[in-house]
Amino acid sequence: MTNIKTRFAPSPTGYLHVGGLRTALYNFLFARHNQGKFLLRIEDTDQARLVKSADKEIFKILKEFGLKYDNKPVYQSKRLKIYQKFADQLIKDGKAYYCFCSPEKLAKLRAEQIQQKRAPKYDKTCCKLSPANIDKNLKAKISYVIRLNVPPNKEIKWNDIIRGEVKFNSNDIDDQVLLKSDGFPTYHLANVVDDHEMEITHVIRGEEWISSTPKHLLLYEYFSWTVPQFAHLPLLLNPDKSKLSKRQGDVAVSDYLAQGYLKDALINFLATIGWTEGAGSEQEIYSLKELIAKFDLKRINISGAIFNLEKLDWINGYYIRKMKVKELTKLCLPYLKDINPKLAEKIVAVEQERLKKLSDINQNTEFFYKEPIYKPELLIWKKSNKESTLENLVKLEDFIITLKDKDFSEIKTLEAKIMAWLKKEGYGVGDMLWPMRVALSGQQNSPSPFEIAWVLGKKETLKRINQAQIKLK
Ligand code: GLU
C-alpha cells in the first residue's frame, strides 16, 4: 500500500483514556508498518465539553510513549469557515437543509416518539420548507441548525477491516445536525471534512463510532469524495466483559503512569490485548519496534479486548526486572520519600524481583529505613520458645560482630557466611533465621534475612538484633 495516512483525533475533554492511547497506538503502528504518515487532529468543536490544557496532556503523553506524529496538530476550532463553506455547499445541492425548530419543539417531538416506543428522530419538518419561507426565517434571524438530509430506505454499507461487512438502513438514521446554531460544526461534519482534506486513507477508531459511520458515508457520497477504509476497534472490557469504566478502576493513562507502570509495558499490554501476531504465537513481550514490524489490523480480535490488570502487572514486572538497578532506582525515588539514594538503590535491588509496579516500592519496605515495631512473640519460631529464641539471638549477635564489612558487600557473601556458621554449629535454620528476619523486619513476611541485613549494613543489623533481645527479656 502506498501513501497510507492515519490520524488520531481526540476531543480534548479531559484526561486521556487508556482506550484513547490504544487507538493512537494502533493508528501509529499501522502507519509506521506501512511507511505511511500518522497525523494528529484535536477535535475541539464541542465548546461545552472543552477542558483547558487537555490538548497539552495529549501531546505530552504521545511524546512520552514515543508515538511521534508527522504533522503540526490540526485544531478544528480554527477551521470554522471551512466547515461553514462545505455546509453551504450541501444546502445548495439539497443534501442538507436549514432547521429552525426550537429546542422546545424538538424536546416535545422526542418525548412523543419515546412514548410511542419509536426511536427518536427528527421528523423533517424543515426539510419541507419553501425557499421563500427559508429566506424569511433567515432574514428574521431565527436561530437555525443545518441538518443532513438522509434519504429514505437506502442501504448504507462498508467493508470494515476488522469486522467485515457492516450494513445500516437509512431509515434508522437521524437527520443529523451538521452545523450548530453557534456556527460550530458537529463532530460528523468536521470529522469527514478533515479526514478528506488531510487525505486520511484509513480511519481507525473505537467501536463506539460505528453508528456514526453511515452518516459519514452519506457525506462522502454527497461531496463525491473518496471514502477511506474503516477499522473499528473492539471496546476495552473489564474481565467480567463489562465496558471498562471508571467505577471499576483507573482509566486515565496518567493514573497508570502515576502508579508506576512503565511506558514500554503499557504499550506492550495495550498492543497485545486484542491483537495477536498469528495463530499459535505465544509471544507476549514486544518492543515498539517489533510491534511496528509485525502489526496487522486484520489480526485484531473482534470480540473485545480484556483489560486484565494481572496481565498488565505481569508485563510490567517483566520490564522492571529487565532494568538496571541504577535506572530503576531513579524511577523509584519519587515513591520513596526522603531517603538516601544509596539506601534506595539497595532496597530496589532487593525488591526488584517482586515489583509489579514502581509504586510497590513503598509497600512494606518502611522497615528498611525505620526501626520496625512488632510484638515480641513474632520472634519465636514454631515450636521454639522465648528462652531459646533469646539465646539464639545472642549467639547470632556474637557471630555477626565477628563479620567484616566486606562480608556485607554482597548478599551472596553474607548468606554464605551465615549458612556456613549455622552448619558448623549445627543450629536449626528456622530457629536462627526466623528470629533474625523478624528482628530485622518486624514482619511476618519479608525478603530474606540476608537481603535485609545487606541493605541495613552491619551496624544497623546488630542494633536491631540487640533490640529484639531486649524485647524478649
Ligand atoms: N473526536 C473523536 C473522539 O474523541 C474521534 C472519533 C474518530 O476517530 O472519528 O474519539
We report the CATH number of the domain holding residue 98 as: 3.40.50.620
The arithmetic mean of pLDDT across residues 379-397, rounded, is 95
Decide: 382 and 430 in contact? Cβ < 8 Å. Answer: yes
User: What residue owns the CA closest to ligand 1's atom 8?
Assistant: 205
391 lies in the same domain as 467: yes
Within 10 angstroms of residue 317's Cβ, the number of other Cβ atoms is: 19
**Is residue 347, in this structure, part of any structural domain at all?**
yes
| pLDDT of amino acid 250 | 87
Q: How far apart are CA 29 and CA 257, in angstroms?
A: 21
Catalytic residue among 243, 246, 370, 412: 246
Selection from 15, 25, 8, 6 nearest residue 66 by Cα = 25
Angle of helix 386-402 versus helix 449-472 axis, rounded to 10: 130
Is 246 annotated in the active site?
Answer: yes
348 lies in the same domain as 381: no
The arithmetic mean of pLDDT across residues 426-454, rounded, is 96
Write the pLDDT tens digit of every residue in 78-117: 999 999 999 999 999 999 999 999 999 999 999 999 999 9
pLDDT above 90: residue 270: yes
Domain endpoint, select from 306, 340, 363:
363
Asked whether 209 lines ligand 1 (CB < 6 A), one says yes
99 lies in the same domain as 151: yes
The three cell numbers of residue 228 are: 477511506
| pLDDT of amino acid 23 | 98
User: What residue owns the CA closest to ligand 1's atom 5?
Assistant: 9
Domain endpoint, select from 201, 233, 265:
233
382 CA to centre of own chain: 46
| pLDDT of amino acid 17 | 95
343 lies in the same domain as 383: no
Ligand 1: distance of its center to the CA of 205 in Å? 7
- Give the three-class secondary structure for 241: coil
Asked whether 10 lines ligand 1 (CB < 6 A), one says yes
Q: Which of 11, 74, 184 to mutate to test the pocket of ligand 1 (most atoms within 8 A of CB)?
A: 11
Write the pLDDT tens digit of every residue in 158-174: 999 999 999 999 999 99
Q: Which domain holds residue 113?
A: 79-233
Ligand 1 atom closest to residue 13's alpha carbon, by position in its atom list: 4
* Size of the chain, expressed as the number of residues it contains: 473
| pLDDT of amino acid 47 | 86
Write the pLDDT tens digit of every residue in 217-257: 999 999 999 999 999 999 999 988 888 877 777 899 999 99
Write the pLDDT tens digit of every residue in 319-349: 999 999 999 999 999 999 889 999 999 999 9
Confidence band for 2, pLDDT divided at 50, 70 and 90: low
Q: How many domains does the chain have?
A: 3
H-helix or E-strand spanning residue 229: strand 229-233
Ligand 1: distance of its center to the CA of 204 in Å? 9
Write the pLDDT tens digit of every residue in 395-410: 999 999 999 999 999 9
| pLDDT of amino acid 280 | 81
Cα 260 to Cα 263, 285, 368, distances in angstroms: 9, 18, 21
Ligand 1 atom closest to residue 195's alpha carbon, by position in its atom list: 9
Determine if the pTM surpasses 0.85. Answer: yes
| pLDDT of amino acid 135 | 97
Query: What count of Cα atoms within 13 Å lies in the side-chain half-sphere of residue 4?
Result: 19
| pLDDT of amino acid 325 | 98
Q: How far apart are CA 22 and CA 41, in angstroms?
A: 16
Q: What's the mean pLDDT when you consider all of the chain?
A: 96
Q: How far apart are CA 255 and CA 253, in angstroms?
A: 5
* CATH code of residue 381: 1.10.10.350
The three cell numbers of residue 30 are: 499501522
Q: Which of 22, 201, 209 to mutate to test the pocket of ligand 1 (most atoms within 8 A of CB)?
A: 209
Write the pLDDT tens digit of every residue in 20-42: 999 999 999 999 999 999 999 99
Proportion of the chain above pLDDT 90, given as a percent: 93
225 lies in the same domain as 355: no
Within 10 angstroms of residue 63's Cβ, the number of other Cβ atoms is: 11
